[in-house]
Amino acid sequence: MLEHVPAWLGQALSSVRAGADKLAIARPELGAGFPSLDLTSPAFADGARLPARFTADGEGVSPPLTWGAAPEGTALYALLVEDADAPAPQPLVHAVVWGIAADVGRLAEGAISRDGAGTPERDVGRNSYLREGWLPPDPPTGHGAHRYVFQLFALDAGVGAPGETPGRSAILAAMAGHVLAAGVLTATYDRGEAAAVGPVGAAAHA
């Protein structure tokens, strides 16, 4: 959708960004100072450019993710993916996944289904377009690089259910006071910049 925004308008809005301080992980109700989870992807390194296949310019599937062992007391995981640089007051939500089992350590490529095909092991919630599933990154042309922030939360057994196909607000309310640990992985993407892509460990930006 945003690929149709003219470049001159994208450039004019380049200073209008939600900001990293608005991300879910920065919300005060979730607490602070909790341990870190090691969240990675075999498709891109932290801080590297997101391969186009995971965006609106490609196949638009969700990228694969992996993470380390759950901290003691973890009952489930929740994942939120947000665009910290959306030209809006709040980050754009690209994915919400609730109820990932504590013994699961990965999401395969395409696991966050665009049509919200949920499984008993997890519930794919609503993105900012009010649709279930993965919202492929689609930054305005000329707006500059956007940071897509994958945020994984390990939650304790006292966490309540956020309801069926939850959105960001319901997830945040349910997680408040129940976060045991969190991991962050960031990818960038923009239209108009020729940047290399590659798997973790590749000298993509050398």
Tokens of 35: 């341990």
CA 71, CA 83: separation in Å to the nearest integer?
27
**Half-sphere CA count of 206, side-chain side, radius 13 A:** 5
What's residue 180's pLDDT?
Answer: 97
Question: pTM of the full predicted structure?
Answer: 0.84
pLDDT by residue for the chain (206 residues), tens only, comes to 555 544 433 344 455 578 899 999 999 999 888 899 999 999 999 999 999 999 999 999 999 999 999 899 999 999 999 999 998 889 999 999 999 999 999 999 999 985 555 555 678 999 999 999 999 999 988 888 999 999 999 999 999 989 888 899 999 999 999 999 999 999 999 986 444 444 443 333 33
DSSP state of 153: E
Are the C-beta atoms of residues 112 and 133 closer than 8 Å to each other? yes
What's residue 15's pLDDT?
Answer: 52
What is the residue extent of each domain of the chain? Answer: 2-189
Strands (E), 50-205: 65-67, 76-83, 92-101, 106-107, 123-124, 146-155, 179-189
Architecture of domain 2-189: Alpha-Beta Complex (3.90)
What's residue 113's pLDDT?
Answer: 83
